[in-house]
Amino acid sequence: MTNVRFALRNLLTSFAIAALLFGGTMAVSMLTPVLVDSAHAASTLTADDLLSDDFTGATGLGQANLKSTIGNIINVLLGFLGIVAVIIILYGGAIWMTAGGTEAKVQKAQQIIVAGAIGLAIILSAYAITNFVITEFISATANSITE
- Please tell me the pTM assigned to this model: 0.53
pLDDT band at 134 (very low <50, low <70, confident <90, very high): confident
Count of structural domains, the chain:
2
72 & 126 share domain: yes
pLDDT one-digit tens code per residue, 2-45 = 666 666 666 566 656 655 555 555 555 555 555 555 555 555 65
d(CA 62, CA 70): 13
Provide the residue range defining the domain that includes 14: 2-59
6/47 same-domain check:
yes
pLDDT at 98 over 50: yes
147 occurs within a structural domain? no
Question: Are residues 54 and 83 both part of a single domain?
Answer: no
